[in-house]
Structure 1
Amino acid sequence: MTSILITGGHSGIGLAAARVLAAQHTDLVLAGRSVERMRPVADELRARHDVSVTMLTLDTSSLTSVRTAATQMRTMVDSGEVTGLDALVCNAGGRFDGDVSYSPDGYETTFATNCLGHFLLVQLLFPMLTGKGRVVYTASGTHDPDTTDGRLVGRSVEPDAIALATAGKDGAKPLPAGKRYTTSKLCTVMYAYELNRRLRKANSPVSSIVFDPGAVPETGFLHGMPKPVQWASNTAAMKWVMRRIGATTSDAEFSGASLAALAADPDHANVSGTYFQAHDRTLSPVRSARLSYDERRAARLWDDSKRLVHLTDEEEAAQLR
């Protein structure tokens, strides 16, 4: 039996997805920064569903951590501890409010965590995917500046990997936190589409899917916001307001189940290159931002990201074998 790897599978939407998958007798690899936080979840899933749950230490803000995790994953596959991957779910991420900060590699933290870490992880783990495996990216409707979601958080800007990675350096004015977040999610959508184009060109059966879980206030997404904002966001009144103004709303249980379905359900076996959205307890394929379909920009984002993560030609070639 093969497994599904979920980054951030021990909390929020990732945890909700992990619980659904475990209940379906799917073995899991939980990837996250803290073994101490992952362990209770792994113990719970093993006890309730008699599945294999492996923990993988991974910090997507650190390229060294990503490479170490990929090496450890290869060792586990080679030894038979993990028998392969049916899906790689790139779900971890966050919004980093306050002053601009930088990753251990010197890249702006939001872009490093939400984009570059997963970009590199997909390249390195791709050879471990089964023949009809799936890569599922958790994005956000906030990436689209023409929607209520995008306007509420901060309109995304040009998906320029070099500029985003070095934002705020050399005296330049950094982007506000909201724009750093929404632009990172625009890049996530574009990575998914560009991967799909490359897979189709190589006649690969692997799928690349992108998912907007909607606004889910009961997750840890708002942990950096003031306490009154956190409290208000989870009230019935605020949820009503969000729906009235046209925001994309969901809850952790439904969005987690939707993420699990995109990773494993046979109904989603042939939807590569599609953007799905969870809204009002409905999962639907929808259009993403107009800019996300720009193939020239996506190719440049991909190539610049390759350079930023120091991806070798051999590592990228392994992706398309």
Structure 2
Amino acid sequence: MATILITGGHSGIGLESSRRLAAQGFTIVLAGRSPERMRSVATELRAAHGVEVHTVELDTSSLASVRAAAASCRAMVERGDVEPLRSVICNAGGRFDGDERYTPDGYELTFGTNCLGHFLLVELLLPAMAADGRVVYTASGTHDPDTTDGKMVGAAVEPNAIALANDGKDGAKPLSAGKRYSTSKLCTVMYSYELARRLDRAGSAITSIAFDPGATPGTGFLRDMPKAVRWFSNTSLMTRVSKRIGVVTSTVEFSGASLAELAVDARYATASGGYFQAREGKLSKTRSSTVSYDEQRALTLWNDTKELVGLLPEEEPAQLR
């Protein structure tokens, strides 16, 4: 059966997506940094749906971990243990509040986790993908400073990979946690669009899609926030207030189902370069931020990111050069 790789597929909307895909009979590769939790989910999916489930340890904040995970996945495909990847779902990520922190590679943790790791993973896995495969990036409406989501979290700043990777170093004032998060999601949307343009120029049938799951209570997204904030974020009152002020809201169940749909449904086979949003029970294509469509900024972001992750010339798929 066709194979789906999903990062962060053992919790939140990723788990719901994994369940939906397993129910359709797909072989699942769970990639994440919690082997114990992934094993538990794998056992659940096998028992419930009789599907094949593999687990690969992956920490997107570590480029060494990304390389090891990609090598493991490619080896599975080359050995014939699984079919070529029908979809790669780049879903893992987070917001990191408190003092600035850095990855094992010395990069700011939010940008390293949400952006650099997935960028390198996709580059290394493209040769293991089916000819008509899909890459789906979990983004966020917070990337757009003109929306309520973006204004509440903190308006995204310039998508400068070098500056974002080194945020807060050498005594410079760091960005707020909200700005770091929203800007990382702006970069995610721009990676998705730039990938779509490169694949299109190469005549590839692989599709690249960006997805906004909306604000989804109960995912653990605010785990670094004070206990009172976490509690209130999961109340029905918070949901009502969010809707009233214009925040894009959804549920774990609907957003997880939407993520799965974008990854495999035939209706999205020609949706490359699109931005889709889950909002109050409806999945629809919509416009992303104005900056996200700036092709020169995206090109610079792409090339700078290649340097940051240390991508070797021979590692870059021919159609993306």
When normalised by structure 1's length, the TM-score is 0.99
Give secondary structure in 2 for the equivalent of 1:59.
coil
- Which residue of structure 1 lines up, in the alignment, with residue 244 of structure 2? 244
1:235-288, CA deviations, whole angstroms, 9 ceiling, x for partnerless residues? Answer: 111111100000000000000000000000111111000000000110000000
Question: Residue deviations 1:41-100, cap 9 Å, x none?
Answer: 000000010000000110000000000111111221122222210000000000000000
| Correspondence 1:114 to 2:123 | no
Q: How does 1:103-182 map to 2 (within 5 A)?
A: 103-182=103-182
- Which amino acid is the alignment partner of residue 138 of structure 1? T
SS of 2:82's equivalent in the other structure is coil
Superposition pairs of residues 204-243 of structure 1, within 5 angstroms:
204-243=204-243
Other structure's SS at 1:221 match: coil
Matches within 5 A, 1:82-93: 82-93=82-93
- Say what the alpha-carbon RMSD is for the aligned residues: 1.0
Contact 2:195 2:320 in 1 (8 A): no
Unpaired stretches in structure 1, ≥5 consecutive residues = none
How far did 1:317 drift? 3.1
> Deviation of residue 211 (structure 1)?
0.1
- Sort the Cα spacing of 1:306 and 1:320 in 2 relative to 1 into closer, same or farther, 3 A: closer
Letter in 1 for 2:279: H
Counterpart Cα distance in 2 of 1:190 and 1:315: 21
Output the CA distance in 1 between the equivalents of 2:254 and 2:2: 25
Distance in 1 between the 2:173 and 2:232 partners? 31
Give the structure 1 partner of residue 79 of structure 2: 79
Which amino acid is 2:78 matched to?
A: D
Alignment-derived partner of residue 98 in structure 1: 98
Name the SS of the counterpart of 2:30 in structure 1: strand
Task: Give the equivalent residue in structure 1 for 2:24.
Answer: 24
User: SS of the residue aligned with 1:276?
Assistant: strand
Deviates more, 1:252-261 or 1:165-174: 165-174
For 1:266, the equivalent position in structure 2 comes to 266
Identical columns (%): 66
The superposition leaves residues 290-319 of structure 1 with CA deviations (integer Å, 9 ceiling, x where unpaired) of 000000000000000000001112221345
Match of 2:278 in 1: 278
Letter in 1 for 2:26: T
Distance 1:204 1:15 in 2: 29
**Secondary structure of 1:4's aligned partner:** strand
Deviation at 1:222, TM superposition (A): 1.1
Q: CA deviation at 1:320?
A: 4.6
Which residue pairs with 1:47 in the alignment?
A: 47
Q: Which residue of 2 aligns with 1:193?
A: 193
State the distance in 1 between where 2:317 and 2:16 align.
34
Give the AA of the match of 2:34: S
Contact kept in structure 2, 1:112 and 1:165, CA below 8 Å: yes
SS in structure 2 of the partner of residue 288 of structure 1: coil
Match of 1:14 in 2: 14
Other-structure match for 2:33:
33
Contact between 2:7 and 2:32, CA under 8 Å: does it hold in 1?
A: yes
Structure 2 gaps of 5+ residues are none
In 2: Cα distance, 1:313 partner to 1:288 partner: 31
Segments of 4+ moved more than 6 angstroms: none
Distance 1:86 1:57 in 2: 20
Is the 8 Å Cα contact of residues 126 and 317 (structure 2) preserved in structure 1? no
* Alignment correspondent of 1:202: 202
1:203 to partner: Cα distance: 0.7
